[in-house]
A and B are shown apart, each in its own frame.
Chain A
Amino acid sequence: MIRSQTDIPLERDAASRMLPWIIAIMVYLAALAIAGTLTLSQVIRSWSVAGTGTLTVQVPFGDSAAKTEALAERAASVLRETPGISRVRVLSRQDVAGLVKPWLGPAEQTAGLPLPALIDASVVGGASIDLAALSRRLAGIAPGATVEDHKKWLDKLVGFARSIWLVTLLVVAMILLAAVVTVIFTTRTGLRIHYRVIEVLHLIGAHDRYISRQFERQAVMLSLKGALVGVLLAVLTVVALAHLAAQVDLIRAPRLVFSVWQWGLFVLVPIVAGLVALYTARLTVLRTLGRLT
């Protein structure tokens, strides 16, 4: 059109110049909170997939490796007779050595150590097993044997993950609130600074909506700018962290960390920031002007 400028010179306001930076910081924090929680629930999910419906029995080392193995076999036969349990497998000494390798070193070094024996068992879907009674029976055969019920532990883990999500939602909501307050403040400051210009616009027949549109456009532009910077920094941070994590074998390669829709959340953040800015600016202008007469 015939001009690039707005009727109200908002772009020169000090508050307007601060807005993108404040929004960038807020968006960065929100995106990181979401990314951290996504990663955590991802990890928890992978544990729960591996662990649902299984039971592990640990038989402590008894005098010699051979005796430990014999005790484990007797405990396994008890398990096989227990209704609701299928597929019982005594882990070989190599398997156990493999499990402790990250902590105790390669098999050659652990050969002489008093490692316990482990028994894996699957629980038939839907079956409920009296774990206390089972523990007592196993302890009678192999003193010190313990039963680990993954499900119980996983239930707790899932509950934990859920509370982490709640906290994250709370954090994001608070950041959103802070963003709204910032936009309100910026808009009110603009209304005050440009009081004369707004008065002239009114006098030549502008509706309040015409004036609010100028503030909306400005708030959306600045917020989008800030949000894009914030999201970009957050993505870079996540990728860098994932790289570091991959180096110490904590999680898989960075591009596998999130699924497509989870990356989509990051795209959503600037859109939400823009929409929040739009409606906050509009309502602030309309309410403030509406109070004048």
Chain B
Amino acid sequence: MMDEDDPIVRFDNVGMRYGTGPEVLRDINMALEPGSFYFLTGESGAGKTSLLRLMYLANRPSRGLVHVFGRDVSTLGRDEVPVLRRHMGVIFQDFRLLDHLSTLDNVALPLRVAGAKGPKVRQHVAELLRWVGLGDHINAKPTTLSGGEQQRIAIARAVINQPNLLLADEPTGNVDDNIGMRLLFLFEELNRMGTTVVVATHNERLVSRFPYPRLVLEDGQVTKQKG
């Protein structure tokens, strides 16, 4: 799919607007190297979610070029998008869990969508759920759980297939700092095994405890800062 040292994500003069609205992102140039870990910060409305949406192919740029896994996203066919997405894990700011499915089934979904089935899936999923502290809620429906618990389901779903790229949008917004640290340790663990991680967050306290570089969004533009 791509060369060893090609960036996982590359933006060239990217601008983005919703419909006919103003540009919410403009002139963005950046490259995320394989195996890197970034925090994405900026105040509310700065465009963090929008930037991530470009990366997980939910939106196309209104100008400029976006490359993901070495592929120019403007040339992707409808059948190619799911293939790329199976190498990503996304934690949505609003979780996007399926309320009619159990915790276990929600987390198993990316595996099943990719064609995996059988008792191994269940075992693997249950193990991960125990790890994020949801071992007692395997059969619960998300709506019966707290915001923090739902968030951890969303996280488990994003990491279950050991993605090459993990995009986390406010993954610690609903949990206390203790659990927040624990989740970031999980991301670090994945990062050590090669996953490129981008964590969008407001939580300065958490960010300052880790040595990773930042992408700071301001006025629709990104600047990289050392961690």
Contact = CB atoms under 8 A, between A and B. Distances in A.
Given A2-B122, A7-B109, A210-B113, A205 B101 contact: no
A201 B108 CA distance: 12
A14 to B, nearest CB: 16
A238 B192 CA distance: 73
A204 B113 contact: yes
Contacts of A9: 100
B127 to A, nearest CB: 14
A2 B96 contact: no
A8 to B, nearest CB: 8
A205 B82 contact: yes
A207 B92 CA distance: 20
B226 interface: no
Contacts of A7: 98, 101, 109, 112
B117 A5 contact: no
B121 A2 contact: yes
Given A201-B113, A203-B90, A5 B79 contact: no
Interface residues of A, number: 21
A204 B101 contact: no
A50 interface: no
Contact of A200 (B88, B96, B121): B96
A197 B99 CA distance: 9
A202 B104 contact: no
B56 A197 contact: no
A73 interface: no
Interface in A179-235: 196-197, 199-208, 210
Nearest to A199: B96
A208 B118 CA distance: 22
B78 A205 contact: no
A196 B97 CA distance: 10
Contacts of A202: 81-82, 85
Contacts of B119: 2
A3 interface: yes
A207 B90 contact: no
B78 A2 contact: no
Interface string A51-94: 00000000000000000000000000000000000000000000
Contacts of B109: 7, 201, 204
Contact of B98 (A200, A205, A207): A200
A203 B102 contact: no
Contacts of A210: 113
A289 to B, nearest CB: 8
A49 interface: no
B194 interface: no
A59 to B, nearest CB: 83
Nearest to A196: B96
B157 interface: yes
Contacts of B81: 202
Contacts of B114: 205
B105 interface: yes
A196 B85 CA distance: 17
Contacts of B58: 203
B100 A205 contact: no
A3 B101 contact: yes
B121 A207 contact: no
Interface of A: 1-3, 5, 7, 9, 196-197, 199-208, 210, 290, 293
Identify the 10 closest CB pairs spanning chains A and B, nearest first.
A205-B86, A205-B85, A9-B100, A206-B113, A204-B110, A205-B82, A2-B122, A200-B96, A207-B82, A3-B105
22 contacts: A2-B104, A2-B108, A2-B122, A3-B101, A7-B109, A200-B96, A202-B81, A202-B85, A203-B56, A203-B58, A203-B96, A204-B109, A204-B157, A205-B82, A205-B83, A205-B88, A206-B113, A207-B82, A208-B78, A208-B79, A290-B78, A293-B78
